[in-house]
């Protein structure tokens, strides 16, 4: 579409669009003319390899032809049909999830679709509260579950709560009043690189029958009152907080704890679901015992080709809801054209054994990262599962001193150009690669299941180049 | 698409999909194979004229070719691009709104897109709270603004708050605990058919300089504390509550009041926006003084072809946000393929002068309804603006006695088959027309801008037939 | 006690005590050396007749000898005994209330004592929520029910919510964040002098079977959701808001409404209880049908001789609580020495037929006020019940224009010396009488049951003198 | 007072008083006819030595003559005087606190009095929120700060939150809905006998510069958002939770943390204040650095002779409040007769060097407890500071296995007669001594500053006797 007048676009965008993440003074126009596979293409024809996979949300690669085609087909028959009518696409999407993807599991009951991850989290909380008839939700520090009010209640990354953050010398922020609401309580997260309970894994296992972080969670539940907690929500691997995978004992113990306390376990697979960690859903890494009451899906569900999200509830919950009328309609829930994208995505992922593919790509890329780890002292740790990576950046590997003091609790105020993730981004962009992260000192890397070894090598080279700069800055600081 | 195995679809749907509005026992499979214009087509080839316009959300008619084609085009170039990148579609969509549709107005500043109406309401509240730096929101009785927690706080239709309602003899409901949250306060609505303040319009104008419902709103604000109210949210015409248009004095006075009290006025045009009331936005009916601080859009924005919603903030707010970094990302906000649907919808509506078209269709259909009103004693009132109609159903026009005692506050529990709206639906369906409503005694009718006079006549005939049944029941009850 | 070094007292008070209602700059030292009957005595021996009865809280007059003596007696036997032990005083106090004062009523079940009115309101809400197992409380505009967080939730006088109000030119206020909490909703008050619904009594009775203010309350309940409202709390006559008595239809209708909606009616008699309105409890004025589920007491309960308050719950509630363990202890609840003061107060009031005495005094004083009303155009209305009076001050009796625009919603910020209530206070003090009010334009007057006709005449003279000044200011303003 | 008809008292009490802690079926009448020193006297003339000091609230002993006499004196001059007048007693009480008791400290600014501890906590939160202009409060697991809604928000003992607990076989509880409100977050407590973080003191000091429990608190603050937390509230030693004193590093680190995070530190000395821990205020044990922004007082402040409580705010806060009008009145705040009791109590404590006296008594009693610890295997630990003791009861000292699984989180539902604290109570009562606790497995012991060595010996003997029974039960269970 050579006909695009990008100057006009830039003018309109600057004048009429409310931008996020940067003030107007700072705002940079980054036009994307097309996307394909793992690449972004700019109007001048140049391209960038997207190693953030947008927001870890395009598992089948951009513009995957079979998905695009399926949408085109659906457009022949469907405009919009509201949630109280039935379409073949919606029924098939539910069937693909419960029967084809999770068919070897006992727990899954029924599916309901909405449009976005934050909506799906809201829906999960509503379902859990109705089921348990209890009022509160337990979440964890550093959790990100969305931005609408209920999801925001469960979000505990103070730097990602819809605030206005200051620019330049202004390190303050204006937070949204009465948002989040009450009724959300905070358990510790599990971050073995920087344990907030002062333990070291695996030595911490000697302290008792439960990991200290699980025991602490138990105590928070007891302190808040288990009879008032409807649900505990967790990301299987923290997405926006970019924390490495928890130790293998964590989720089995959390799951036992929630069962014991009669608390619904809501597993937020919005970012980690759909194969990229090497299992269909990330929580499956921890065995059969670790099965959610409510699984929350988004992003990868439709390959982000169109806005789709949803929940899968357990058989027990499904039977409970079947008894009554649930008076809750979402205009775009189960939109037939969107459902066509979901069906095509799921079929593509199934037919191409996406979990195996992501395990294989992840193994290759992980090896490269391990090599960089040996070479760059500013790598504090490389964590991974499947094709999802985090790299902890440190000034000093021994002391684990950070470049920027606040990491996951940074407010993104003041001069963010000095964030290591920003420095790496600038450097990797010089080599045509997007590598960055959501916290100042932690890189978050992923890609589609189809990324080539050549592209991974290119990404590793670019990262090597960026880390060299960081090593230089660290050495300079020390001198 | 004869190839669809509808038996399998029905099986999957029953087994794997979590249905709303009816219990499993009550659930009926209503498959829609395709849609076009104002018609739903069933697998057996039969069709129904949809006089609810799905949820009053398909202004350009289903499967409008230019819109479908625009989506197909976009799929060539775009999968997903996150909100911090820029695309031509998003910029153009913003430009179409601010420049082409609202270009004759001074107030509009900038646009931001999300995926659904409930998200757009949440976004509007966040924006208003940040702007005013105050914590509370004022809403109105019978308001419907969405179902996610923040939007649910503003929703005051007790029968549409995501509850589980009983079936058969069970008239109870289980409500969602701690949902809505605090911080939302309740002003009266304006319903001149059934004034909750005990007044009659226009006599009520004699009571003072403000309408009693506005004066009462003033007092609620004073009682709650104007210095803690960030926003007042209103639908210009109540959508789900299906209330007729307010008298002409109402919104000018409300707007003056909110300005005087330093409260942001959030105008929720999700259902009423995009021409169907005869103006681009419904609030424009009440003159230049009635301009929102934040306008909320959804449904019609994309002709519901894909999930799209958004807000337009005033110039003053836009300038305020431009100064800081707004740390708030929605994965699917401004999705390029969705934006293509928005651009095509807006262009289609503009090119075909949708407001004029809706005024014209509404005039024709309204005439027919007025005729039915004369013939059917169970019509208590016909209210309309453009092509948006409500019909109040009564047992007796003089006493205004209802068939079902609770109307807008009904919980949809127990035996709903006796709701007049259900009775009308069953009867009109016999004639191939969908006419019903969201409250037991109030019909809600609309259609696309392209509906033919023949189809409107058919709808009127079907309604005539349904009302005859209702007249019969009313006469029987009296006897 | 001539030995008091009042200079030292003033120094200590200025240096070490955190004063309310005035900034340090404005603060005036008003030492009271002793009190007796209706009089305050200053260190210089001068006296003032207290026509505010402190806070309408000393029905038997200050230092009533039989009460003081009873306390002295109790001090012989009791220091402190916690709530899970039993003392004769506490049992007798409960018996005096239920058997001797309310013995002709069916409803009263059991009593529980705490120390202050705000605590008693909190206790009533806890009891109502446990009983109904519902989460919300309905309150009314202009309500004052206390200042602790739960009571503050029910308080809707924006100028009495623990805020910091500006001085001099600063008309702003800093409100307490997250205080009040959510879960409190707002019904209209009933103020026939300034109806917030735009009606005039008794014409408003023609609008339907319920008064418009009751009908509006019904609609608020329906809009909020009756199944989530545990209690409606009302003052029988608004105390701090100083509104005149409601019309006779109001409370019978409210009571029927709360019963119909399964909502506990909490009647806050903290200020109006204990005879001063001419009945033992104010709500008794409206007939047998108007009986609370929970009656809240304070102030007059102990003649304010010591801090005492409590609740009386209905037989039905008492039986409900009897079935379980209520795990809720107040250290000073039922304090034996305080209970001695309560017993003596109640016995004194009973033996001297306090209701009759207050009716008699009120008749005399009311006659005088009616006389002043005829003479002073700035009296807009005189409202009374028993010995409780409010006088509405206006610039103009016809237009009801106020001296200060905001009345009950005034924030007490800026230059309050121009409040008519302040002007009257300064003038009446010149004549040795304290007459003032809690809102800028409304006087609140009361006295003990023992006030003499001479003292009432003196108060009337002083008020006459003050009103003359106000008349002058009103005339001046007009000129 | 032989004239008391205790049969009538029992009848009235049973019929008219709403009892706490036991259902009507379980309720036992325990009449106290008089109290003196550390003794309770029953109507039959028998006595019991009260080693719970009521609720740790009578430091000078019951019916201390100088205090009772001071109250009698005050009754000559004062009935009630509201908070906006000034009396000598109130000024002197403030002066005694700031000048005479805390005169060697820099921090104390001004005092404000209310009637109860729960009110004082509410006042402290209001003051802290106004000062910091932030909305949230951080509290700790197992905290008890009162029962009114704001104080209840900070209370995190699920078994003491005003719930209705089941009896006999019913282990459930009905909690108060929407109570507590939102806006309260939970930090860990510090309990080295049963560390909820899985550490052992002092080894835990090796994990980093801060104790793990402080580090975890830091992380909770960061996770919640320091810019929204107005105050952190702590008991210096947990009162109702009956936890032993924290290690010496804890409070200095907490204080540094709150300063660094710009969070007001509210120190709740309601139970621990006024010398019984061996310092005037308990927090003084941890050095000069540990000084509160707001100190909360109750119980001991007036020797519980009358209901008194209050706050002392720092100079900085006092100066802040001095600039504005604080519109917040408590009817009984600074009640002159109550203030007389406070003055007399403080003077008595000062003149008799209460801190030294408590240290001395505590040393003697502690020695006796240490002896019992050696003899009774069911003593898991004896913790103390001054004359405040907790004894952890265990089935087995090595494994620390409890008799009742839930300890501080027990709901007091079901058959509580098997709680070790109940068993000890029954046994010690046989010997004329009250020894028990607030949690199933933890004894809480204290006494007045005047307790004799003979009485302490008697208490130790009774406890010895009770523990023997417990030892027997533990041995039996094991066999």
Q: Which residue has the tokens 């349904």?
A: B466
Buried b (16+ CB within 10 A) or exposed e, C359-372: bebbeebbebbeeb
Which chain C residue shows the shortest CA-CA distance from A181?
Answer: C182
CA separation for the pair D183, D203 (Å, rounded): 34
Return the SS3 of D21. Answer: coil
Give the mutation candidate from B62, B148, B176, B264 for the A interface (greatest A CB count, under 10 A).
Answer: B148
Q: Once rounded to an integer, what is the mean pLDDT over residues C246-269?
A: 98
In chain A, residues 357-416 whose CB comes closer than 8 Å to chain D: 406, 409
Interface residue C323 vs chain D (CB under 8 A): yes
* B227/C199 CB distance under 8 A: no
Which chain C residue shows the shortest CA-CA distance from D120?
Answer: C148
Return left, alpha or beta for C262; rule: phi > 0 is left, psi -120 to 50 is alpha, else beta. left
How far from D140 is each of A175, A303, D155, D178, D214, CA to CA, in Å?
A: 24, 43, 8, 20, 11
* A181/C181 CB distance under 8 A: no
Q: Which of D156, D183, D198 sits opposite A223 (nearest CB)?
A: D156
Which chain C residue shows the shortest CA-CA distance from B206?
Answer: C198
User: pLDDT tens digit string along B31-41?
Assistant: 999 999 999 99
Q: Once rounded to an integer, what is the mean pLDDT over residues A337-357?
A: 98
Q: Once rounded to an integer, what is the mean pLDDT over residues C156-167?
A: 93
Q: Give how far D152 is from chain B: nearest CA, Å.
A: 17
Tokens standing for residue A229:
């907690």
Helix %, strand %, coil % of chain D (to 5): 40, 20, 40
Q: Is residue C333 within 8 Å of residue D18, measured between CB atoms?
A: no
CA atoms within 13 A on the CB side of B71: 32
Q: Once rounded to an integer, what is the mean pLDDT over residues C21-34?
A: 94
Q: Give how far D344 is from chain A: nearest CA, Å.
A: 39
Q: How confident is residue B247, by pLDDT bands cut at 50, 70 and 90?
A: very high
What pLDDT, on a 0 to 100 scale, did the predictor assign at position B99?
98
* A129/B176 CB distance under 8 A: yes
Chains that touch C (3 or more CB pairs under 8 A): A, B, D
Which chain A residue shows the shortest CA-CA distance from B76?
Answer: A63
- Quick one: what percent of chain C has pLDDT higher than 90? 96
- CB atoms closer than 10 angstroms to residue A429: 15
Q: Which residue has the tokens 């209708």?
A: C253
What pLDDT, on a 0 to 100 scale, did the predictor assign at position C179?
82
CA separation for the pair B185, B192 (Å, rounded): 22
Which chain C residue shows the shortest CA-CA distance from B140?
Answer: C223
User: pLDDT tens digit string along B182-194?
Assistant: 899 999 999 999 9
Q: How confident is residue D34, by pLDDT bands cut at 50, 70 and 90?
A: very high
Give the mutation candidate from B14, B18, B102 for the A interface (greatest A CB count, under 10 A).
Answer: B18
Return the SS3 of A62. Answer: strand
What pLDDT, on a 0 to 100 scale, did the predictor assign at position B278?
98
In DSSP terms, A414 is beta-bridged to A167
* B185/C183 CB distance under 8 A: no
Question: How remote is the C-alpha of C87 from its chain's centroid?
Answer: 29
DSSP B94-123: HHIIIIIISTT-S-EEEEEEESSHHHHHHH
Among B416, B373, B415, B377, CA closest to B394: B377
Residue D347 has pLDDT above 70, yes or no: yes
Interface residue B65 vs chain D (CB under 8 A): no
Give the mutation candidate from B145, B166, B195, B225 for the C interface (greatest C CB count, under 10 A).
Answer: B225
B164-165 vs D184-187, strand pairing mode: unpaired
CA separation for the pair C451, B392 (Å, rounded): 61
Among C323, C291, C335, C252, CA closest to C80: C335
Interface residue D450 vs chain C (CB under 8 A): no
Q: Give how far C390 is from chain B: nearest CA, Å.
A: 20
Chains that touch A (3 or more CB pairs under 8 A): B, C, D
Q: How confident is residue B2, by pLDDT bands cut at 50, 70 and 90?
A: low
Q: Which of D182, D199, D227 sits opposite A198 (nearest CB)?
A: D199
In DSSP terms, A267 is beta-bridged to A234, A295
Radius of gyration of chain D (CA): 22
Buried b (16+ CB within 10 A) or exposed e, B59-80: bbbbbbeebbebbbebbebbbb
Give the mutation candidate from A135, A182, A225 for the C interface (greatest C CB count, under 10 A).
Answer: A182
- Quick one: what percent of chain C has pLDDT higher than 70? 100
Q: Once rounded to an integer, what is the mean pLDDT over residues C59-88?
A: 97
Residue C36 has pLDDT above 50, yes or no: yes
Mean pLDDT for chain A?
A: 96
User: pLDDT tens digit string along A208-239?
Assistant: 999 999 999 999 999 889 999 999 999 999 99
Interface residue D228 vs chain B (CB under 8 A): no
Residue B445 has pLDDT above 70, yes or no: yes
Chains that touch B (3 or more CB pairs under 8 A): A, C, D
* A199/D207 CB distance under 8 A: yes
Return the SS3 of A468. Answer: helix
Among A300, A298, A292, A295, CA closest to A117: A298
User: pLDDT tens digit string along C355-398?
Assistant: 999 999 999 999 999 999 999 999 999 999 999 999 999 999 99
What pLDDT, on a 0 to 100 scale, did the predictor assign at position A428?
98
B34-36 vs D294-297, strand pairing mode: unpaired
Q: How confident is residue B107, by pLDDT bands cut at 50, 70 and 90?
A: very high
What pLDDT, on a 0 to 100 scale, did the predictor assign at position A2?
53
Q: Which of B183, B198, B228 sits opposite C182 (nearest CB)?
A: B183
Tokens standing for residue B84:
């911090």
Residue C97 has pLDDT above 90, yes or no: yes
Long-range contacts of range A469-478, CB-CB < 8 Å, 24 or more positions apart? A469/A423, A469/A424, A469/A427, A470/A376, A470/A378, A470/A393, A470/A403, A470/A420, A470/A423, A470/A424, A471/A376, A471/A377, A471/A378, A473/A403, A473/A423, A474/A377, A474/A378, A474/A395, A474/A396, A474/A403, A477/A395, A478/A395, A478/A396
Residue A314 has pLDDT above 70, yes or no: yes
What pLDDT, on a 0 to 100 scale, did the predictor assign at position C2?
53
Q: What DSSP character marks residue C98? A: I
Contacts (Cβ under 8 Å, ≥6 apart) of C174: C163, C164, D130, D133, D324
**Residues in chain C closer than 8 A to D323 (CB atoms):** 23-24, 167
Residue A370 has pLDDT above 90, yes or no: yes
What pLDDT, on a 0 to 100 scale, did the predictor assign at position B1?
44
Q: How confident is residue A1, by pLDDT bands cut at 50, 70 and 90?
A: very low
Q: Give how far C210 is from chain B: nearest CA, Å.
A: 9
* B197/C215 CB distance under 8 A: yes
Main-chain phi, psi angles of C249, to 5 degrees = -75, -25
Residue D1 has pLDDT above 50, yes or no: no
Residue D48 has pLDDT above 50, yes or no: yes
Interface residue A66 vs chain B (CB under 8 A): no
What pLDDT, on a 0 to 100 scale, did the predictor assign at position B3?
87
Q: How confident is residue D180, by pLDDT bands cut at 50, 70 and 90?
A: confident
What pLDDT, on a 0 to 100 scale, did the predictor assign at position C422?
97
Return the SS3 of A354. Answer: helix
CA separation for the pair B120, B134 (Å, rounded): 19
pTM for the model stands at 0.95
How far from A453 is each of A365, A460, C408, CA to CA, in Å?
A: 8, 10, 74
Q: Give how far C262 is from chain A: nearest CA, Å.
A: 20
CA separation for the pair C174, C168 (Å, rounded): 15
Q: How confident is residue A420, by pLDDT bands cut at 50, 70 and 90?
A: very high
Q: Is residue C456 within 8 Å of residue C364, measured between CB atoms?
A: yes
User: pLDDT tens digit string along B263-297?
Assistant: 999 999 999 999 999 999 999 999 999 999 999 99
What pLDDT, on a 0 to 100 scale, did the predictor assign at position D2?
53
Return the SS3 of B5. Answer: coil
Q: Is residue B179 within 8 Å of residue A150, measured between CB atoms?
A: yes
Residue B391 has pLDDT above 80, yes or no: yes
CA separation for the pair C252, C263 (Å, rounded): 15
Which chain D residue shows the shortest CA-CA distance from B179?
Answer: D178
- Quick one: what percent of chain B has pLDDT higher than 90? 96
In DSSP terms, D384 is beta-bridged to D389
């Amino acid at each position: 579409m050579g006909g695009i007048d990008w100057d006009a676009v830039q003018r309109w965008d600057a004048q009429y669009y409310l931008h996020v993440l940067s003030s107007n003074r700072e705002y940079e126009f980054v036009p994307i003319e097309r996307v394909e596979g793992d690449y972004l293409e700019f109007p001048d024809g140049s391209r960038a390899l997207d190693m953030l996979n947008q927001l870890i949300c395009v598992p089948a690669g951009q513009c995957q032809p079979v998905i695009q085609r399926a949408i085109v087909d659906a457009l022949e028959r469907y405009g919009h049909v509201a949630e109280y009518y039935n379409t073949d696409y919606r029924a098939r999407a539910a069937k693909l999830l419960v029967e084809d993807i999770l068919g070897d599991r006992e727990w899954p009951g029924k599916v309901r679709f909405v449009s976005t991850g934050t909506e799906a989290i809201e829906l999960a909380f509503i379902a859990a509260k109705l089921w348990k008839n209890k009022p509160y939700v337990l979440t964890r520090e550093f959790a990100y579950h969305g931005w609408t009010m209920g999801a925001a209640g469960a979000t505990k990354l103070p730097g990602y709560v819809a605030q206005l953050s200051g620019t330049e010398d202004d390190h303050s922020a204006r937070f949204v009043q009465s948002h989040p609401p009450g009724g959300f309580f905070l358990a510790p997260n599990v971050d073995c690189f920087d344990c907030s309970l002062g333990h070291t894994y695996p030595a911490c296992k000697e302290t008792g029958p439960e990991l200290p972080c699980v025991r602490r969670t138990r105590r928070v539940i007891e302190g808040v009152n288990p009879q008032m907690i409807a649900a505990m929500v967790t990301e299987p691997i923290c997405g926006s907080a970019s924390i490495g995978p928890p130790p293998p004992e964590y989720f089995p113990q959390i799951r036992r704890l929630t069962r014991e306390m009669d608390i619904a376990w809501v597993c937020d697979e919005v970012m980690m679901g759909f194969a990229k960690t090497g299992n269909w859903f990330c929580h499956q890494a921890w065995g059969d015992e670790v099965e959610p009451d409510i699984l929350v899906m988004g992003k990868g569900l439709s390959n982000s080709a169109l806005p789709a999200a949803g929940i899968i509830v357990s058989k027990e919950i499904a039977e409970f809801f079947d008894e009554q009328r649930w008076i809750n309609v979402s205009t775009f829930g189960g939109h037939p054209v969107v459902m066509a994208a979901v069906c095509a995505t799921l079929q593509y992922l199934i037919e191409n054994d996406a979990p195996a593919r992501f395990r294989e790509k992840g193994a290759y890329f992980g090896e490269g990262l391990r090599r960089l780890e040996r070479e760059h002292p500013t790598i504090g740790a490389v964590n991974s599962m499947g094709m999802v990576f985090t790299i902890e950046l440190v000034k000093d590997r021994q002391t684990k001193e950070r470049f920027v003091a606040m990491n996951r609790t940074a407010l993104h105020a003041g001069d963010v150009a000095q964030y290591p993730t920003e420095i790496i981004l600038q450097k990797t962009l010089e080599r045509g690669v997007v590598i960055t992260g959501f916290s100042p000192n932690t890189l978050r890397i992923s890609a589609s299941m189809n990324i080539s070894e050549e592209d991974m090598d290119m990404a590793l080279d670019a990262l090597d180049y960026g880390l060299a700069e960081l090593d230089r800055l660290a050495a300079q600081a020390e001198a």
